[in-house]
Amino acid sequence: MTTSPDSFSIYYHQQTKYTPEGIARSAKPLDWESQPYPFKKYPVGTAIDLIPYLLQAETLTEDPVVLEERKRISKLLYLSYGVTAVVPYPDHPFYMRAAPSAGGLYPAEIYLVSRGTQGFPEGLYNYQVKDHSLIRFWDSPVWDKFLATCFLHPYLRQATLALVTTTLFDRSRWRYQDRAYRRVYLDTGHLLGNIELAGTLMGFHAGLLGGFYDDGLADLLYLDIEEEAPSAVVALLENPEGERPEWEGSLVLPSEKCIDYPEVEAGALLRFMHNHSKIGQSPRVSQPAATEQDKYNFPFCLKVSTEAEPIIWQDKLEATIIQRRSTRQFTGEDLTIRELQQILSFTYLPTKYDSQGFDPSPEYFDLSLLETFVAVTGVIGIDEGCYYYAPQARELRQIRFKNFRREINYLCLGQDLGRDAGAVIFHTADLKKAVDRYGERAYRYLHMDAGHLGQRINLAAIRLDLGVSGIAGFFDDQVNEVLGIPEDEAVLYITTLGRPSRRGGT
Ligand SMILES: Cc1cc2nc3c(=O)[nH]c(=O)nc-3n(C[C@H](O)[C@H](O)[C@H](O)COP(=O)(O)O)c2cc1C
């Protein structure tokens, strides 16, 4: 394996690739005794129980403004990351949440920052997932400092409430070692997808910020900087008419690029990667994001239109989020072309869903950096093979003709989901280009955007009564080689789609 002089992100990505030889060498049993507890506890603070606002709001006799505000925040948090199923293991129950998480490790936390509203007096709150409550652990003025750590972002000048997502690396590193850095940001992307979608249900536009003074924001939230780090800020913008707030230029901020780095040992890669993707007190300005264009065209290839009637949601978004589970087993039966087309349309063409009350322009960090490839192994109406998905032209362009079932099973580390899926979606990016635009911070943005797209894919599939599961463990280089995905495209994430086996779970 070569190390690249280009940037630390590229080096980190190479060092954390799974290879058939490496995985055999590094496989060791998990030490269940040392697994970090996935819930944060606060010894001091005032709790606001959000359950009544979720379940019995009509019986509450509070001031109507307070009631309405707490109802909205209660539901927003529940649909984003609340407990949607409990597996009653004898020694300790396993709490499953509205957003999926690699290995069910849930490294994310959510904080609410309030400028001071009737329902939420100014201060800092942590969302206690298990109890569905908010604990107000800081009750002094905080908004001005918050605004400063986010470089006076215009969204926060407008908003009165904002969410901050953070990540506790050890919850995921315990199992995935250095490669956990990829997974925690994919997880966070899924969570951001839920916040975005649940936000529209509650009349908020999720104004997304990824550029902030990392250590300043961690300090503001009283995080232990060795354990926990802010990952994204979401301004909750009142947006009932679907209008976007006014702002100028690109607000996706870069960090420095790290081209001069030592050889970092296994075990220290995650921390080094994180520290070198931080933004300090004075941010650099980024180039404006490129307009999204279809990157690959192959003049004589087979092309398949992905135009389809939109999915009819009929107010089922909330139920879909609550019912969503990662499918544990597919039957191996085919999907239909219409199902795949509809999943792609919901994921990539949000304007088509405007009339159904969805946000027509959900925010990502920079989708122009992400590409999508689809391996079709069983879709009635589409030839088998690997395709590039061109969202602007709304078509699949075939790059290789073959049924890859057996290979995908192997590439996904022998997981049956890969073998029995009808279609497998790959999100990729040119890391060099991404780092040139956003410094090492690009690595976070790419994984969060891929997770966010993944969450839309998940929910569309569940709405269509299909099975779906993310896969973040795969033999990186072999995916490109076998499927014919250009080698500049680093594979970030895989989402499998198929018919769910009702015996093997959802
Ligand atoms: C980033 C990410 C990676 C995942 N990777 C895998 C995987 O490799 N194999 C798998 O079976 N499930 C995978 N999953 C699904 C998780 O195991 C699942 O989300 C978790 O067990 C919680 O269950 P739920 O999604 O049904 O709520 C992944 C999920 C995410 C978000």
Q: How far is the CA of 499 from the centre of ligand 1 (A)?
A: 17
DSSP annotation of 37? P
User: C-alpha distances in angstroms, 486 versus 222, 283, 388, 432, 479?
Assistant: 44, 33, 10, 14, 10
**Complete edge-to-edge strand list for the sheet that includes strand 303-305:** 303-305, 395-400, 385-390, 370-376, 423-430, 489-498, 467-471
- 472 ligand 1 Cβ < 6 A: yes
pLDDT of residue 251: 79
- How many whole angstroms separate alpha carbon 506 and alpha carbon 501? 7
In sequence order, the β-bridge partners of residue 400 are 386
**Ligand 1, atom 16: nearest CA belongs to which residue?**
102
**Ligand 1, atom 17: nearest CA belongs to which residue?**
103
Contact of 193 with 452, CB cutoff 8 Å: yes
Buried b (16+ CB within 10 A) or exposed e, 29-57: eeeeeeebebebeeeebeebebebbbeee
Task: State the greatest distance between any 2 C-alpha atoms of the chain, in Å, as a whole number.
Answer: 67
∠ CA 288-290-293, rounded to 5°: 170
Pocket test for ligand 1, best of 79, 192, 326, 327 (most atoms within 8 A of CB): 326
Same topology between domain 35-247 and domain 291-498 = yes
Tokens 């697994």 locate to 35
Residue 362 has pLDDT above 80, yes or no: yes
Q: What are phi and psi of 393, to 5 degrees?
A: -80, -10
Mean pLDDT in residue range 328-336? 98
One-letter identity of residue 55: L
Pocket test for ligand 1, best of 95, 471, 494 (most atoms within 8 A of CB): 471
With cut-offs at 50, 70 and 90, classify the pLDDT of residue 1.
very low
**Complete edge-to-edge strand list for the sheet that includes strand 108-114:** 46-49, 133-138, 123-128, 108-114, 161-168, 228-238, 204-209
Concatenate the DSSP letters of all residues of 308-366 into one string: -PPP--TT-HHHHHHH----S-B----EEHHHHHHHHHHHH-GGGGGGGT--SS---S-
User: C-alpha distances in angstroms, 136 versus 114, 162, 208, 347?
Assistant: 10, 14, 23, 36
- 469 ligand 1 Cβ < 6 A: yes
* Orientation angle between helical segments 64-81 and 180-201, nearest 10 degrees: 140
Contact of 162 with 234, CB cutoff 8 Å: yes
- Whether this model's pTM surpasses 0.95: yes
**Ligand 1, atom 28: nearest CA belongs to which residue?**
102
Q: How far is the CA of 356 from the centre of ligand 1 (A)?
A: 29
**Ligand 1, atom 7: nearest CA belongs to which residue?**
471
Percent above pLDDT 70 for the chain: 95
- 327 ligand 1 Cβ < 6 A: no
- 193 ligand 1 Cβ < 6 A: no
Q: How far is the CA of 415 from the centre of ligand 1 (A)?
A: 12
Residue ranges of domains in the chain: 35-247, 291-498
- Choices 3.40.50.2000, 3.40.50.720, 3.40.109.10, 1.10.1740.10: CATH for 291-498: 3.40.109.10
With cut-offs at 50, 70 and 90, classify the pLDDT of residue 5.
low
- Choices 3.90.1300.10, 2.60.40.420, 3.40.109.10, 3.40.47.10: CATH for 35-247: 3.40.109.10
- How many whole angstroms separate alpha carbon 500 and alpha carbon 21? 32
With cut-offs at 50, 70 and 90, classify the pLDDT of residue 23.
confident
Q: How far is the CA of 103 from the centre of ligand 1 (A)?
A: 6
pLDDT, tens only, 345-357:
999 999 999 999 9
Nearest CA-CA partner of 206 in 371, 77, 39: 77
Q: How far is the CA of 328 from the centre of ligand 1 (A)?
A: 9
pLDDT, tens only, 42-75:
999 999 999 999 998 889 999 999 999 999 999 9
- 448 ligand 1 Cβ < 6 A: no
State the Rg of the chain over Cα: 22
pLDDT of residue 505: 46
Would residue 325 be called left, alpha or beta, if left means φ above 0 and alpha means ψ between -120 and 50 degrees?
beta
